[in-house]
């Protein structure tokens, strides 16, 4: 008899139950499991499939263990691609986004991925962004939001601001024009005020990957050093240095091309205008600055060191960042690699001031700390002591001090883009900057717009811009910048817990649902998204909205899906789409393959034979449960003990997030079922289907229902029978002088003495012994008798 395994039929017959299953309420046992919500691009890929399968599987596991699991899902729906698509396909970003959301929801469904859709949220929905605007206003009122001049990428042909992603090799993505830097007023959040809290918080994240915790710490980048104020004809030039001990080796002062002193220099020498602006024509991102060739320009000005009294030339240099430290550095070619390269290029002198054995200063810098030389009264001091000493002296003469500096900068949240959440600020000629009043929230993003490249839509939208001041009632203008989408995703996990409450951001009765117990997503979000979310959650804690400071107790960063060793992507032409696989195999086989092929944290290599194998396994499972099974009244303690051992392993692997071995474990139990027929057959069948359920839900549910006439949703994770292994008989080999002479059956609970006694009574063993000299016992495996 052939039985046809039709995964689609099985999926469609079980999906309603799976989708609508609401967990029984166990108020003190909750798991909030969250997979990073997707950008609705419309393309559901294997990376999504993997991410959400891991979340679904762990949630089902905890549900069977009696937890109330929240697993909401939503859409990170604002952002640039929608705007680009609007230009390309002449479609409104809203429609494009809505269409994609529907399409992706269909993909979730097809892949048998089930969420608590009752909590669904979409960031471009006014219901959502109303509370985002409210949250921003709380930050503003707590002095955590401010406006300042900041640099953007400017496309001089399209006359528009470009996002970093729109600058390709230094040129605008549409016009191809060389991108310039331009200073405009933008909104910032003072994440720097939370630098210490965020650093301290890192120490509590013991369920995060160590590597991610470290990336967070490095990004915040606490560093201890000195502020030194060099005197000049103008105002003092302040520099920040971590190597104050190398002060006597400074041979120049380098400033950012946008440093105020450059304007002074320009006044004296207008010919500097062109070379100076040339220093500015490159990207603004730090990575970009690191890549570019280091260039400089002497400004014809000098600064004097308050300690050494050395008079140093001032240069503008393209590698000095205006927004780190003071936008100026002392250049120490002998001890800093970057300065060394610069000195070689422009022929600055190299003066060693730290001891070193046989270092060739023509070849490169010597960056170790050590003992000071050629440093007046500081000569002979250890670097660390010298820095502290210098700090004291500088402070005394009012020319600097010891300083803790963070690499972290304030978070620029302004985007000069249409498709984003409007920043709820009004500019009034009489009152200044005024947040929109609560009754008027949300500030709606207008939808009656026309797309033209090079035009700022909101700035051109009269009825959006013109408004009245909430304070004085006079005519005023709205802010036209929108929020960076990182802001949208910095608090969504808390909004999920509100259940969509229209009257407040978060109902306090929902606090117990927080924090997120397990957050699952790609390693590409290891820094910014997580840092911003942590900052916003700390703030929400500080204003009493939530009880927890850290938003995500455990973090699981899933690996990439590769094919032939490279990332699967459309551009590489090696895409395998979940939907074409679904056609062929159904979702259970795809889920099993992805879980089995690698532990969640590691990259997963795509393989056709792998998924074929899973499909065959499921066919066998189906066949087993669809055909009359052989029964037996035979007790077999060994079989039962083996099953218990595997079950214990599987449970532990779930706790360790080792989902690949949970699949292997379920397969082992199935092999036992197929090969043995014992009195406990039915119990083992139950154990098998329950352990398979989180991994391949449809077939497990189907077989359980059919076979036991019960819903697997009412089942509980089987408890491990810890007695089974102790009472199961085990076979032990007996050797005499290293030669195998017999096999005995004992109980795991037998003592060594009992086992040795049984061994020596075994007839064939007995035959070979005269006098026993020594017994070596390897528990559960071997007795070796040394005898004459
Ligand atoms: C002199 C010096 C000598 C430096 C030496 C290093 C080695 P962290 O640890 O990241 O804080 N720096 C300071 N402000 C800068 C800016 N705005 N743009 C670019 N570079 C800047 O690094 C601090 C070091 O980075 C400072 O110490 C300064 O160079 C540089 F042997 O000063 B140092
Ligand atoms: Zn006003």
Residue 242 Cα: closest atom of ligand 1: 27
State in Å: Cα 412 to ligand 2 middle. Answer: 26
Residue 335 Cα: closest atom of ligand 1: 31
The lowest-confidence range among 149-158, 302-311, 650-659 is 149-158
pLDDT tens string 568-577: 877 777 788 8
State in Å: Cα 446 to ligand 2 middle. Answer: 23
- Alpha-carbon span 8 to 588, nearest angstrom: 10
185 assigned binding-site residue: no
Interior CA angle at 183 toward 180 and 189, to 5°? 125
Contact 115, 75 (CB under 8 A): no
Higher pLDDT: 499 or 496? It is: 496
Q: Is the CB of 240 under 6 A from ligand 1?
A: yes
Q: Is the CB of 342 under 6 A from ligand 1?
A: no
Query: CA distances (Å), 763 to each of 548, 738, 772, 778, in order?
Result: 69, 17, 15, 21
- The best mutation among 224, 227, 240, 351 to test binding of ligand 1, ranked by most ligand atoms within 8 Å of the C-beta, falls on 240
Neighbour tally for 170: CB within 10 Å: 14
Residue 325 Cα: closest atom of ligand 1: 14
Ligand nearest to the CA of 370: 1
Q: Is the CB of 511 under 6 A from ligand 1?
A: no
pLDDT tens string 188-219: 999 999 999 999 999 999 999 999 999 999 99
Strand partners, 35: 520
- Alpha-carbon span 189 to 411, nearest angstrom: 5
Residue-level pLDDT at 748: 75
Residue with tokens 């994609």: 100
Sign, CA dihedral 407-410-415-419, equals positive
The lowest-confidence range among 373-377, 711-715, 780-784 is 780-784
- Alpha-carbon span 570 to 275, nearest angstrom: 42
Q: Does pLDDT of 25 surpass 80?
A: no
Q: Number of helices and strands (H, E) in the chain? A: 26, 32
Question: Taking the model in full, what pTM does it have?
Answer: 0.83
Q: Is the CB of 244 under 6 A from ligand 1?
A: no
Q: Is the CB of 386 under 6 A from ligand 1?
A: no
The pLDDT confidence band at residue 284, using thresholds 50, 70 and 90, is: low
Nearest CA to ligand 1 atom 9: 223
State in Å: Cα 342 to ligand 1 middle. Answer: 14
Q: Is the CB of 241 under 6 A from ligand 1?
A: yes
State in Å: Cα 240 to ligand 1 middle. Answer: 7
Non-local (6+) Cβ contacts of 719 within 8 A are none
Query: CA distances (Å), 333 to each of 15, 306, 365, 517, 700, in order?
Result: 68, 20, 7, 50, 68
Strand partners, 255: 316, 328
Residue-level pLDDT at 23: 57
Q: Is the CB of 595 under 6 A from ligand 1?
A: no
State in Å: Cα 421 to ligand 2 middle. Answer: 23
Helices of type H across 497-628 = 528-542, 578-585, 587-597, 608-626
Q: Is 753 helix (H, G, I), strand (E, B) or coil?
A: helix
**Does residue 130 come out as left (phi exceeding 0), alpha (psi in the -120 to 50 range) or beta?**
alpha
* Whole-number CA gyration radius for the chain: 34
- Alpha-carbon span 361 to 780, nearest angstrom: 67
**Does residue 393 come out as left (phi exceeding 0), alpha (psi in the -120 to 50 range) or beta?**
alpha
State in Å: Cα 144 to ligand 2 middle. Answer: 22
- The best mutation among 217, 243, 321, 400 to test binding of ligand 1, ranked by most ligand atoms within 8 Å of the C-beta, falls on 243
Q: Is 75 helix (H, G, I), strand (E, B) or coil?
A: strand
The arithmetic mean of pLDDT across residues 645-672, rounded, is: 97
Query: CA distances (Å), 495 to each of 136, 424, 502, 633, in order?
Result: 14, 19, 11, 56
State in Å: Cα 198 to ligand 1 middle. Answer: 23
Counting Cβ atoms within 10 Å, is residue 432 exposed (0-12), middle (13-18) or buried (19+)? exposed
State in Å: Cα 618 to ligand 1 middle. Answer: 60
Neighbour tally for 612: CB within 10 Å: 14
Q: Is the CB of 489 under 6 A from ligand 1?
A: no
Residue-level pLDDT at 418: 93
Q: Is 482 helix (H, G, I), strand (E, B) or coil?
A: strand
Which H helix or E strand runs over 81? helix 80-89
Q: Does pLDDT of 542 surpass 70?
A: yes
Cis peptide leading into 397, omega within 30 of 0? no
State in Å: Cα 200 to ligand 1 middle. Answer: 24
Query: CA distances (Å), 286 to each of 292, 319, 382, 477, in order?
Result: 10, 9, 33, 34
Q: In what order do the strands lie in the sheet with 30-35?
A: 68-70, 30-35, 516-522, 552-558
Residue-level pLDDT at 303: 97
Q: Is the CB of 112 under 6 A from ligand 1?
A: no
State in Å: Cα 181 to ligand 1 middle. Answer: 23
Pairing of strands 296-304, 482-483: unpaired
Q: Is the CB of 316 under 6 A from ligand 1?
A: no
State in Å: Cα 403 to ligand 1 middle. Answer: 13
State in Å: Cα 329 to ligand 1 middle. Answer: 6
Q: Is the CB of 325 under 6 A from ligand 1?
A: yes
Contact 49, 56 (CB under 8 A): no
Task: Identify which of 413, 415, 419 has the alpha carbon closest to the alpha carbon of residue 81.
Answer: 419
The arithmetic mean of pLDDT across residues 400-414, rounded, is: 93
pLDDT tens string 140-180: 999 999 999 988 888 888 777 887 777 888 898 778 999 99
Non-local (6+) Cβ contacts of 142 within 8 A are 539, 543
Nearest CA to ligand 1 atom 32: 241
Neighbour tally for 41: CB within 10 Å: 17
pLDDT tens string 415-451: 988 999 999 999 999 999 999 999 999 999 999 988 7
pLDDT tens string 687-715: 999 999 999 999 999 999 999 999 999 99
Nearest CA to ligand 1 atom 28: 241
Q: Does pLDDT of 395 surpass 70?
A: yes
Q: Does pLDDT of 366 surpass 60?
A: yes
Ligand nearest to the CA of 238: 1
Q: Does pLDDT of 462 surpass 70?
A: yes
Residue-level pLDDT at 727: 78
Residue 405 Cα: closest atom of ligand 1: 11
Residue-level pLDDT at 202: 97
- Alpha-carbon span 265 to 272, nearest angstrom: 8
Nearest CA to ligand 1 atom 25: 241
Give, as residue ranges, everything with CB less than 5 Å from ion ligand 2: 428, 430-431, 469, 471-472
Q: Does pLDDT of 27 surpass 70?
A: no
Interior CA angle at 551 toward 44 and 527, to 5°? 65
pLDDT tens string 45-83: 999 999 999 999 999 999 999 999 999 999 999 998 888
Query: CA distances (Å), 295 to each of 260, 287, 316, 322, 364, in order?
Result: 19, 16, 9, 15, 18
Q: Does pLDDT of 414 surpass 80?
A: yes
Contact 192, 406 (CB under 8 A): yes
Average pLDDT taken over every residue of the chain: 92
- Alpha-carbon span 311 to 375, nearest angstrom: 15
- Alpha-carbon span 135 to 129, nearest angstrom: 9
Task: Identify which of 738, 739, 774 has the alpha carbon closest to the alpha carbon of residue 756.
Answer: 774
Q: Does pLDDT of 286 surpass 70?
A: no
Residue-level pLDDT at 134: 98
Q: Is the CB of 242 under 6 A from ligand 1?
A: yes
Interior CA angle at 737 toward 731 and 738, to 5°? 55
Residue 223 Cα: closest atom of ligand 1: 11
Counting Cβ atoms within 10 Å, is residue 309 exposed (0-12), middle (13-18) or buried (19+)? exposed
For 244, the token pair is 């104050």
Residues in the chain: 788
Percent of the chain with pLDDT over 90: 76
Residue-level pLDDT at 2: 62
Q: Is the CB of 327 under 6 A from ligand 1?
A: yes
Q: Does pLDDT of 285 surpass 80?
A: no
Non-local (6+) Cβ contacts of 752 within 8 A are 777, 779
Residue 334 Cα: closest atom of ligand 1: 31
- Alpha-carbon span 596 to 584, nearest angstrom: 19
Contact 553, 515 (CB under 8 A): yes
Q: Does pLDDT of 1 surpass 60?
A: no
């Amino acid at each position: 008899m052939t039985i046809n395994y039709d995964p689609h039929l099985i999926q469609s017959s079980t999906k309603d139950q799976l989708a609508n299953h609401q967990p029984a309420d166990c108020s003190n046992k909750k798991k909030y499991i969250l997979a990073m919500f997707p950008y609705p691009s419309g393309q559901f890929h294997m990376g999504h499939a993997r991410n959400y399968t891991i979340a679904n599987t762990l949630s089902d596991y905890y549900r069977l263990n009696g937890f109330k699991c929240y697993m909401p899902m939503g859409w990170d729906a604002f952002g640039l691609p929608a705007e680009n698509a609007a230009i390309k396909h002449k479609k409104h970003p809203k429609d494009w986004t809505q269409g994609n959301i529907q399409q992706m929801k269909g993909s979730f469904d097809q892949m048998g991925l089930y969420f608590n859709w009752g909590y669904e949220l979409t960031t471009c929905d006014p219901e959502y962004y109303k509370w985002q605007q409210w949250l921003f206003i709380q930050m503003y009122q707590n002095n955590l939001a401010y406006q300042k001049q900041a640099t953007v990428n400017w496309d001089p042909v399209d006359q528009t601001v470009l996002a970093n992603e729109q600058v390709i090799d230094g040129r605008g993505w549409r016009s191809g024009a060389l991108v310039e830097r331009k200073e405009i007023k933008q909104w910032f959040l003072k994440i720097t005020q939370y630098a210490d809290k965020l650093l301290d918080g890192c120490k509590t994240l013991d369920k995060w990957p160590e590597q991610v915790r470290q990336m967070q710490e490095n990004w915040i980048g606490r560093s201890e050093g000195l502020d030194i104020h060099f005197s000049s004809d103008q105002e003092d030039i302040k520099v920040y240095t971590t190597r104050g001990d190398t002060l006597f080796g400074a041979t120049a002062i380098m400033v950012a091309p946008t440093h105020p002193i450059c304007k002074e220099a320009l006044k004296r020498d207008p010919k500097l205008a062109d070379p100076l602006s040339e220093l500015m024509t490159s990207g603004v991102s730090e990575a970009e600055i690191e890549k570019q060739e280091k260039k400089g320009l002497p400004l014809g000005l000098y600064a004097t060191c308050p300690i050494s009294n050395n008079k140093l030339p001032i240069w503008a240099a393209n590698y000095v960042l205006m927004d780190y430290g003071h936008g100026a550095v002392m250049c120490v070619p002998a001890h800093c690699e970057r300065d060394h390269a610069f000195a070689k290029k422009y022929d600055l002198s190299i003066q060693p001031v730290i001891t070193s054995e046989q270092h060739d200063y023509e070849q490169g810098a010597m960056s170790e700390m050590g003992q000071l030389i050629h440093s007046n009264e500081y000569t002979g001091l250890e670097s660390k002591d010298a820095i502290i000493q210098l700090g004291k002296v500088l402070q005394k003469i009012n020319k600097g001090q010891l300083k803790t500096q963070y690499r972290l900068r304030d978070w620029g949240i302004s985007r000069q883009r249409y498709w984003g959440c409007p920043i709820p600020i009004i500019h009034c000629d009489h009152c200044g900057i005024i947040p929109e009043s609560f009754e008027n929230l949300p500030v709606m993003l207008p939808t009656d717009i026309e797309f033209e490249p090079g035009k700022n839509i909101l700035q051109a939208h009269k009825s959006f811009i013109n408004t009245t001041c909430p304070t004085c009632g006079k005519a005023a203008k709205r802010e036209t910048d929108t929020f960076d989408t990182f802001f949208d995703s910095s608090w969504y996990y808390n909004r999920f817990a509100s259940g969509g409450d229209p009257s407040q951001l978060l109902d306090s009765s929902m606090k117990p649902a927080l924090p997120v117990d397990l957050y699952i997503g790609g390693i590409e979000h290891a820094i910014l998204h997580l840092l911003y979310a942590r900052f916003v959650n700390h703030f929400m804690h500080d204003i009493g909205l939530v009880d927890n400071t850290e938003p995500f107790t455990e973090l699981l960063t899933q690996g990439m899906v590769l094919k032939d060793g490279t990332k699967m992507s459309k551009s590489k032409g090696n895409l395998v789409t979940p939907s074409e696989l679904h056609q062929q195999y159904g979702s259970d086989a795809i889920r099993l393959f992805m879980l089995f092929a690698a532990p969640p944290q590691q990259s997963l290599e795509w393989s056709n034979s792998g998924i074929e194998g899973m499909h065959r396994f499921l066919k066998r499972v189906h066949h087993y449960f669809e055909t009359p099974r052989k029964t037996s009244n035979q007790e077999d303690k060994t079989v039962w003990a083996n099953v218990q051992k595997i079950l214990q392993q599987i449970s532990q692997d779930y706790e360790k997030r080792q989902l690949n071995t949970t699949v292997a474990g379920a397969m082992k139990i199935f092999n036992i079922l197929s090969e043995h027929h014992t009195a406990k057959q039915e119990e083992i069948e139950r154990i098998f289907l329950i352990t398979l359920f989180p991994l391949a839900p449809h077939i497990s549910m189907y077989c359980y229902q059919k076979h036991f006439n019960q819903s697997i949703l009412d089942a509980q994770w089987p408890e491990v029978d810890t007695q089974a292994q102790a009472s199961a008989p085990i076979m032990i080999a007996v050797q005499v002088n290293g030669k195998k002479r017999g096999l005995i059956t004992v109980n795991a609970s037998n003592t060594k003495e009992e086992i040795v006694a049984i061994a020596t009574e075994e007839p064939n063993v007995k035959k070979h012994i005269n006098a026993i000299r020594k017994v070596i016992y390897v528990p559960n495996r071997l007795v070796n008798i040394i005898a004459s």
